[in-house]
Amino acid sequence: MNSPPRWLDWLRGATPHERRTLLAGSLGWLLDSFDVMLYALVLTHLIAHFGMDKTTAGFLNSLTLFASALGGALFGFLADRVGRTRALMGSILVYSLASGACGLAQSIVQLGLFRFVLGLGMGGEWTTGAALVAESWRAEHRGKALGLMQSSWAVGEGLAAVTAGLLLGLGTVALPHGWELPAWRAVFFVGVLPALLVFWVRRRVREPEIWRARQPGRVPLSRLWQPDVRRHGLIATLMNTAALFGYWGLFTWIPAFLSLPVSEGGRGLTITQTTLWLVVMGAGKWLGYVFFGYAADAAGRRRSYIAYLLAAALLVPIFASLTSPTALLIVLPLVAFFGTGYFSGFGAIASELFPTEIRGTAMGLSYNLGRAVSAFAPWLTGALALRYGLSGAFLVTSVAFLVAAGLAALLPETKGTELC
């Protein structure tokens, strides 16, 4: 018999607590991705139903991202005060229920309100889940664990693409008494299901020992402005701002870029083709996230982070210039690999930069203040697309990736750091 692959030894040797926290963080992030991605997948239907232009459509997604910044900061503070698992459960409930509410929207204003609430939970989930996993895993495997957690985002996007593809292909969903529900509303209603995860987390996942050992309920916010924390926090925030700007400015619009008619700046793919291309993109993302974890534990967090961002900056112009569906299918997973895989690094970098008593708050602020500014990226891409087309608008994301790489070079290497 062949022996199991040794690259999984770290996972097989994990303690039950390590595995449960990784599963909780991964499922929460997967389902978060599922709910967030649904908007991008039904975007063309929302544009048609509500009569939105590209600028308005981009603004609604920017509103979600801005809310996620507030949610990340809020739930990060709650994670330091009441615990990682409690804050995690709260964030999952918020984004799940808000997703279902999007399916009830009768106007652009209502849809925007529900997307804002969804963003609060979306931002909170990453902050709480990453802190939970980082504090529960040993230093030598922390990068791989956080990489595997981050990879669940790609799985969630793939599941969302399949779900949306199946439902949107129906046009309408039949209900009792002869009623018919527009398929895009049904897609949002499916987003309520992640709320069920809360019951398992409540029963099976306990707080990390490192958090329980500190003084409960006390969050020394003044610690954030002390010199050793302040400099790293400011650089990390700016770095995330640029990296997230590149990500949201590009990947929010990729489904529309693939499916819109050529006359409107898209590539004219069918629903079936778009679904398949997005699933392949998700596979590229998953591999990028996972591989980054191994690279970060072997070569270091900073070096891996910079390499990914530089590769993404080079690939975006190539992708934007392609018109052949086959060429898009080949290059898209590479863009996804490098253009998203670096996300696995921030959980490890941030958790190792900040002390336990303010780790959740500092991670939430540095990640989500950056996300607040990056909230303008989908809007800007949409606005630029009106004049230059999506191909031209995508080039601004390449510049953002380059800026993020330069800022990452200013941070110290944190590989092997024992949390305290």
CB-CB neighbours of 286 under 10 Å: 24
Paired with 181 in beta bridges are: 173
CB-CB neighbours of 406 under 10 Å: 14
SS3 content of the chain, % helix, strand, coil (to 5): 80, 0, 15
Task: Say what the pLDDT of residue 1 is.
Answer: 47
Task: Say what the pLDDT of residue 173 is.
Answer: 65
> What's the topology of domain 16-216+223-408?
Growth Hormone; Chain: A; (1.20.1250)
d(CA 183, CA 189): 10
d(CA 191, CA 137): 30
3-state secondary structure of 174: strand
Question: Taking the alpha carbons of 279, 284, 288, 291 in that order, is the dihedral positive or negative?
Answer: positive
DSSP for residue 173: E
The predicted-structure confidence for 86-106, as pLDDT tens digits, reads as follows 999 999 999 999 999 999 999
Domain coordinates in residue numbering, the chain: 16-216+223-408
Tell me how far CA of residue 285 lies from CA of 15, 48, 90, 369, in angstroms. Answer: 27, 29, 27, 24
The helix (run of H) or strand (run of E) holding residue 180 is strand 180-182
Paired with 180 in beta bridges are: 174
Q: What is the pTM of this model?
A: 0.79
Quick one: tokens of 401? 């990736």
Percent of the chain with pLDDT over 70: 95
The predicted-structure confidence for 108-145, as pLDDT tens digits, reads as follows 999 999 999 999 998 888 889 888 998 899 888 898 99
Tell me how far CA of residue 385 lies from CA of 35, 225, 253, 322, 328, in angstroms. Answer: 25, 40, 10, 16, 19
User: Side chain identity at 272, as an amino acid letter?
Assistant: T
The predicted-structure confidence for 160-203, as pLDDT tens digits, reads as follows 888 888 888 776 666 665 567 788 888 888 888 888 888 898 88
| CB 360, CB 312: distance < 8 Å | no
